[in-house]
């Protein structure tokens, strides 16, 4: 067989080959030499036949298992390879068993009591008592740590004793899961063996003492190792995934709207310029201004730029999404968008993620119904799937956040017209800082009064805004002075979602562009959608980080995105 | 009740209110006046009580249904509103029944024969015979059209007769689903009523005659209405969703890596500069060079830029993902990345989406196993969920693509070392354009020989490359001259995935930075991950558009992303 394969390797169409005998050799070797885990360092000196992984189960970190086994194999196993022996099957991939899997079930791990388990993670705290040492280990799969209990009998205890297993260190722990006598957890790991994987320098900045969020923003690479930022990351992930689930289950197609655009029909808000005229390497810091290509008139010569004209970072994928909605019926975007606004507030980022669904054959009622169903779906998903994290937020970040979310998931959403909202505000027994009159934009104080007070914490959609305060593409209502716009207001956050029915009538849209002195030529492709098989359509936009704030109660938007970009700050 | 609610509206905590009697009025009205759909134009003149949608089922496009019903309500229904009547419940959102839902089942729609259905979509073709007219309507939910058959009895037939219902027009059709006598489909719609929603100007550029893909790139806003681009959009969507599903089901957390970065530790490949020094409004086209802030030395004054220093578009989220992997164990990114390379090829985009998983407590074997399982999962997902689209690609784009994908989903993936791969190439009975020797990077011809010829169409992972041709962060193997890198090669595409185990040993990594004359200060936070609880970790990167090319057989990468960005081109 080996000879046949050797010949075949040199011809065009050979069958798949594996080393014909290495498996047998491996198995017979290990039947004589059962795997006895050894201390972790030195790190992997993998014997050559470990390259072939198909003969053993993946044990979640074969680098560690290989290290544990190192030295078991004699050097004489090394030998020259023949072509016919090249090519081994790639090993099997299996889901890691993490702390969340162990403790996350309905009985919080009691069903696994008695099992021998391995936990790999980072030491959160270390507590030595007279005869027993407690290690709290976290692997990021859950807020919960695994409490590891050991005494001096445990293999590797010397490393614990020597102080190497300190806060921030990474370890591999093997032990038996037992019922815990503590009140904080149902189970704990009775350690038989501990391996220090990576020590933590004493300068580790995230020690047990509480550190401020401002400080942690300067340690954005380490802050996910804290309770708060770990929980934010998991809830953010749950919101993202349930966003995809909601739209996919409802027949929407995910569209990647472009990030860089030289199209002339953006322009809402300040934009970042994207260019290669400024040296694109790391020497940018020393770029002379006069090295920038210019025309005879001293203007920047955009024809020499990468795209041949000025290009910018997108502020919204909506117009692009409309092109796909008018072909595929229902689509959504989920991608980054940008604002070059010099806003140093707790609600603004220069780079943030937006979700922008667009529905064809749909009007504002469909749009509101979709936005409502969407928000209720993702909130329900987080309440159901992130219980522990939500309880953490409820205790430490915003008391009552769970009740607030339950309200959103269960209560009916209310709609009322802008005109009614103004009437309601005018009749309210309250002095607002910003005076209320028809035609003004609603301020945060107005929005929060409506949702928090007038409608008792129920999300409210205000619709049919004056056309003068809304974008050109929104559909004019029959009254001629309002448009089919809607803003969803939620307690604490205010506006969470903004949407509209789009103007699908070519003549109305062209008139509106003229009124606003916008160039019809620039919008040629957007107008084409109304020229060829136009349909009523509607959509909305949701700032994803606002949603994470809403769901977690975290006050500063810089703390709900891994690496926030704000004026003067684009580190990491 | 109304009076109580009126008082409550003006106090802080009121219960939720709805108009107490409008529902009853509405229901009694419609019980006396059953809904009789009317011709579509004029577009929505919605009577006031349509603002309240909770008393009727959403019928997939209430703008159309409202239009259909317009005129049924007397103007006298309008009246002044009281505060207590403000606020209606938002209507229910339901999944639209689309053509894919009707025809997509195992019996291709036969189970629905006899049902009265409404289809909304765009006319693909129009064929008038002596007594009967055939309309092919597509709503983008599937490649399949709904064949609509009508004779002159159908309501609205005059619009068909007048030629308004032409290719590209959008229509609303109601009829009875019947078994089709044609061979192309099992069912068709016997039309009772047709409504022209939006006519199509005769200049519609996508007529029945086949148009080139080059031409369609200039019509990126309309090309999703073609068979090819509709199918690409659906398969792309399926690949994206199954990507999320795979990682979520395996306990990975989605991380949004930053798009804009002023961090000094990128720099692989040419980067786009992101700036607000050049006027960020639409007047950029007339920007004088000397308006750019400069220092006394004539250098660009970056301190005045938005981020206070030069900032760029990211080329990879890997380093950022590593920070989260070393906190949450397993993470992945899925977001846009950028290259300012002046490559006008069918394989390069300036803006493309990348998937970058990062696994902690994992080595190269785990990484290869993950990449293999991932690719097999998404390919299987597409084969199972996009059958019709895949048959289209198999017939019209790349004959054999389904077999090729089935191979990937079912065959074992092979791994071999770079050293073995070189040996294999040297022994191959083939003259390569690029000579082969140890230390050279593998060229496309080599990669395709390995996967297509030597291993007979089986995906092959080449691992353990010479360190000199790989990135600084890859983990040095014990031989001191190779690193734990891997490239997955697949037939037709060549390299689809590239990954590596990361150097987790602080001293090795610092030495490597020194060797390559990279600044350790710039990498301070990346080095911190090795300073505090370092763990073996590994990951890979996958260009999402390459994956779409791989799965569909579409040759030019510009045709697998909605709005391609390439040198000189950032339209739409």
Quote the pLDDT of residue B57: 40
Taking contacts as CB-CB distances below 8 angstroms, the residues of chain A near B258 are 351, 562-563, 565, 570, 572
Q: Is A10 exposed, middle or buried (0-12, 13-18, 19+ CB in 10 A)?
A: middle
The β-bridge partners of B357 are B332
To the nearest whole angstrom, how far is the Cα of B162 from the nearest Cα of chain A? 16
- The pLDDT of B26-50, averaged and rounded, is 34
* Predicted confidence band of residue B116 (pLDDT cuts 50, 70, 90): very high
Residue B42 has pLDDT above 80, yes or no: no
- The pLDDT of B330-334, averaged and rounded, is 98
Contact B353 A256 (CB under 8 A): yes
**CB of B112 closer than 8 Å to CB of B187:** yes
- The pLDDT of A135-158, averaged and rounded, is 96
Q: Is B64's Cβ below 8 Å from some Cβ in A?
A: yes
- Give the residue from A139, A150, A146, A159 showing the smallest Cα distance to A39: A159
pLDDT digits (tens, 9 = 90+) for B254-277: 999 999 998 866 555 689 999 999
Taking contacts as CB-CB distances below 8 angstroms, the residues of chain B near A86 are 416, 420-421, 423-424
DSSP notation for A492-536: TTEEEEEEEEE---HHHHHHHHHHTT--TTTTHHHHHHHHBS---
- What number of other Cβ atoms are within 10 A of residue B209's Cβ? 5
Structure tokens at A131: 């005869």
Quote the pLDDT of residue B268: 53
- pLDDT above 70 covers what percent of chain B? 83
Residue A268 has pLDDT above 70, yes or no: no
**CB of B550 closer than 8 Å to CB of B364:** no
Structure tokens at B22: 């409008």
Question: Computed from CA positions of residues B392, B398, B402, B408, in that sequence, does the dihedral angle turn out positive or negative?
Answer: negative
Taking contacts as CB-CB distances below 8 angstroms, the residues of chain A near B54 are 412
Q: Is A303 exposed, middle or buried (0-12, 13-18, 19+ CB in 10 A)?
A: exposed
pLDDT digits (tens, 9 = 90+) for B165-186: 999 999 999 999 999 998 999 9
Structure tokens at B429: 């009975």
Quote the pLDDT of residue A211: 85
Taking contacts as CB-CB distances below 8 angstroms, the residues of chain A near B417 are 51
Taking contacts as CB-CB distances below 8 angstroms, the residues of chain B near A373 are 92-93
B368 φ, ψ (degrees, to nearest 5): -65, -40
The 3-state DSSP class for residue B542 equals: strand
Q: What CA–CA distance (Å, rounded) separates B455 from B490?
A: 10
A-proximal residues of B, 188-207, CB under 8 Å? 197-201, 203-204
Quote the pLDDT of residue A12: 37
Q: Is B140's Cβ below 8 Å from some Cβ in A?
A: yes
Quote the pLDDT of residue B6: 43
Quote the pLDDT of residue B194: 96
Mean pLDDT of chain A: 86
For A318, A372, A529, B43, B508, the CA distances from A360, given in Å and listed in that order, are 13, 17, 12, 15, 56
Closest Cβ opposite residue B224 in set A9, A44, A323: A323
pLDDT digits (tens, 9 = 90+) for B293-318: 999 999 999 999 999 999 999 999 99
Q: Quick one: how far is CA A500 from the chain centroid?
A: 26
- The pLDDT of B143-162, averaged and rounded, is 95
DSSP notation for B343-362: --STT--SEEEEEEEEEES-
- pLDDT above 90 covers what percent of chain B? 75
pLDDT digits (tens, 9 = 90+) for A426-466: 999 889 999 999 999 999 999 999 999 999 888 999 999 99
Q: Is B10's Cβ below 8 Å from some Cβ in A?
A: yes
- pLDDT above 90 covers what percent of chain A? 74
For B39, B103, B107, B147, the CA distances from B144, given in Å and listed in that order, are 27, 8, 14, 9
Closest chain A CA to residue B286: A299
Q: What CA–CA distance (Å, rounded) separates A478 from B444?
A: 61
pLDDT digits (tens, 9 = 90+) for A302-357: 999 999 999 999 999 999 999 999 999 999 999 999 999 999 999 999 999 999 99
Q: What CA–CA distance (Å, rounded) separates A278 from A280?
A: 6
Contact A198 B362 (CB under 8 A): no
Contact A423 B86 (CB under 8 A): yes
- The pLDDT of B499-521, averaged and rounded, is 96
Quote the pLDDT of residue B209: 72
| Placement of tokens 């030529």 in the chain | A521
Contact A91 B365 (CB under 8 A): yes
Closest chain A CA to residue B462: A87
Q: Is B273's Cβ below 8 Å from some Cβ in A?
A: yes
Mean pLDDT of chain B: 86
Quote the pLDDT of residue B429: 86
Q: What is the pTM of this model?
A: 0.88
Taking contacts as CB-CB distances below 8 angstroms, the residues of chain B near A563 are 257-258, 261, 320
Q: Is A431's Cβ below 8 Å from some Cβ in B?
A: no
Quote the pLDDT of residue B64: 55
Residue B39 has pLDDT above 50, yes or no: no
For B19, B32, B78, B92, B109, the CA distances from B22, given in Å and listed in that order, are 6, 15, 12, 17, 39
To the nearest whole angstrom, how far is the Cα of B142 from the nearest Cα of chain A? 9
Q: Is A58's Cβ below 8 Å from some Cβ in B?
A: yes
Closest Cβ opposite residue A329 in set B139, B222, B262: B139
Quote the pLDDT of residue B496: 96
Quote the pLDDT of residue A52: 37
Quote the pLDDT of residue A82: 60
Quote the pLDDT of residue A81: 57
Quote the pLDDT of residue A73: 36
Q: In this complex, how many residue pairs, one in chain A and one in chain B, have their CB atoms less than 8 Å apart?
A: 612
Contact B273 A270 (CB under 8 A): no
Quote the pLDDT of residue B509: 97
Q: Is B353's Cβ below 8 Å from some Cβ in A?
A: yes
Task: Say which residue, B11 or A246, is predicted with more confidence.
Answer: A246
pLDDT digits (tens, 9 = 90+) for B342-391: 999 999 999 999 999 999 999 999 999 999 999 999 999 999 999 999 99
Q: Is A13's Cβ below 8 Å from some Cβ in B?
A: yes
pLDDT digits (tens, 9 = 90+) for A385-420: 999 999 999 999 999 999 999 999 999 999 999 999
Q: Which segment of A57-66, B66-75, B411-420, B496-505 scores lowest on mean pLDDT?
A: B66-75
Q: Is B292's Cβ below 8 Å from some Cβ in A?
A: yes
Quote the pLDDT of residue B43: 34
Residue A548 has pLDDT above 50, yes or no: yes
Task: Say which residue, B176 or B81, is predicted with more confidence.
Answer: B176
Contact B281 A271 (CB under 8 A): yes
Give every CB contact of residue A211 below 8 A, 6+ residues apart in sequence.
Answer: A205, A226
To the nearest whole angstrom, how far is the Cα of B395 from the nearest Cα of chain A? 22
Quote the pLDDT of residue A209: 72
pLDDT digits (tens, 9 = 90+) for A12-53: 333 344 443 333 333 333 333 333 333 333 333 333 233 333
What proportions of chain A, in percent to the nearest 5, are helix, strand and coil? 35, 20, 45
Closest Cβ opposite residue B16 in set A11, A335, A412: A412
- What number of other Cβ atoms are within 10 A of residue B21's Cβ? 11
Question: Computed from CA positions of residues A154, A155, A161, A164, in that sequence, does the dihedral angle turn out positive or negative?
Answer: negative
Quote the pLDDT of residue B20: 36
Task: Report chain B's C-alpha Rg in angstroms.
Answer: 30
Give every CB contact of residue B131 below 8 A, 6+ residues apart in sequence.
Answer: B151
Q: Is B256's Cβ below 8 Å from some Cβ in A?
A: yes
* Predicted confidence band of residue A2 (pLDDT cuts 50, 70, 90): very low
**CB of B175 closer than 8 Å to CB of B146:** no
Q: Is A43 exposed, middle or buried (0-12, 13-18, 19+ CB in 10 A)?
A: buried
For A30, B150, B153, B184, the CA distances from B177, given in Å and listed in that order, are 66, 12, 17, 15
Contact B285 A260 (CB under 8 A): no
Taking contacts as CB-CB distances below 8 angstroms, the residues of chain B near A428 are 10
pLDDT digits (tens, 9 = 90+) for A181-223: 988 999 999 999 999 999 999 999 998 677 899 999 999 999 9
Q: What CA–CA distance (Å, rounded) separates A456 from A490?
A: 11
């Amino acid at each position: 067989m080996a000879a046949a394969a050797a010949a075949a390797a040199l011809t065009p169409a050979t069958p798949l080959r594996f080393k014909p005998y290495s498996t047998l050799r491996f198995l017979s070797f290990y039947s004589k030499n059962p795997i006895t885990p050894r201390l972790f360092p030195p790190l992997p000196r993998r014997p050559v036949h470990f390259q072939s992984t198909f003969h053993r189960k993946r044990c979640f970190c074969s680098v560690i298992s290989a290290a544990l086994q190192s030295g078991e194999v004699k050097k004489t196993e090394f030998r020259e390879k023949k072509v016919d022996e090249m090519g081994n099957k790639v090993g099997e991939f299996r889901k890691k068993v993490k702390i969340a899997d162990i403790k996350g079930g309905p009985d919080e791990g009691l069903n696994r009591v008695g099992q021998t388990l391995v936990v790999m993670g980072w030491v959160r705290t270390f507590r030595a008592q007279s005869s027993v040492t407690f290690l709290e280990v976290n692997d990021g799969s859950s807020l919960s740590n695994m409490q590891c209990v050991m005494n001096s009998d445990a293999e590797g205890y010397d490393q614990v004793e020597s102080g190497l297993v300190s806060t921030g260190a990474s370890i591999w722990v093997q032990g038996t899961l037992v019922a815990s006598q503590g009140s904080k957890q149902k189970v704990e790991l009775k350690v038989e063996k501990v391996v220090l994987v990576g020590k933590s320098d004493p300068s580790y900045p995230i020690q047990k003492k509480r550190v401020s969020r401002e400080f942690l923003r300067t340690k954005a690479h380490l802050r996910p190792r804290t309770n708060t930022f770990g929980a934010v990351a998991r809830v953010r992930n749950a919101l993202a995934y349930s966003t995809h689930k909601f739209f996919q289950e409802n027949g929407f197609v995910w569209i990647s709207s472009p990030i860089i655009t030289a199209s002339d029909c953006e322009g809402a808000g300040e934009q970042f310029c994207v260019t290669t005229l400024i040296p694109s390497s790391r020497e940018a810091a020393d770029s002379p201004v006069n090295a920038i290509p210019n025309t005879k008139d001293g203007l920047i010569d955009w024809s020499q730029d990468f795209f041949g004209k000025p290009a910018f970072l997108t502020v919204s994928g909506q117009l692009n999404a409309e092109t796909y909605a008018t072909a595929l019926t229902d689509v959504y975007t989920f991608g980054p968008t940008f604002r070059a606004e010099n806003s140093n507030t707790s609600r603004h980022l220069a780079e943030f993620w937006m979700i922008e669904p667009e529905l064809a054959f749909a009007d504002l009622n469909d749009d509101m119904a979709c936005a409502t169903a969407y928000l209720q779906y993702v909130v329900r998903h987080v309440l159901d799937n992130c219980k522990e994290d939500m309880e953490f937020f409820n205790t430490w970040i915003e008391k009552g956040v769970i009740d607030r979310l339950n309200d959103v998931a269960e209560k009916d959403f209310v709609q009322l017209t802008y005109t009614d909202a103004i009437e309601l505000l005018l009749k309210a027994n309250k002095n607002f800082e910003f005076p209320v009159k028809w035609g003004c934009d609603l301020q945060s104080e107005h929005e929060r009064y409506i949702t928090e007070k007038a409608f008792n914490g129920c999300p409210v959609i205000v619709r049919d805004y004056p056309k003068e305060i809304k974008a050109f593409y929104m559909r004019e209502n029959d009254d001629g002075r309002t448009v089919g716009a809607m803003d969803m207001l939620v307690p604490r956050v205010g506006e969470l979602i903004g949407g509209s029915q789009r103007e699908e009538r070519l003549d109305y849209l062209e008139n509106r562009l003229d009124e606003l002195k916008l160039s019809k030529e620039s919008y040629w492709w957007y107008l084409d959608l109304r020229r060829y098989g136009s349909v009523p359509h509607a959509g909305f936009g949701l700032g994803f980080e606002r949603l994470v704030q809403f769901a977690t109660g975290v006050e500063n938007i810089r703390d709900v995105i891994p690496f926030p970009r704000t004026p003067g700050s684009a580190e990491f």
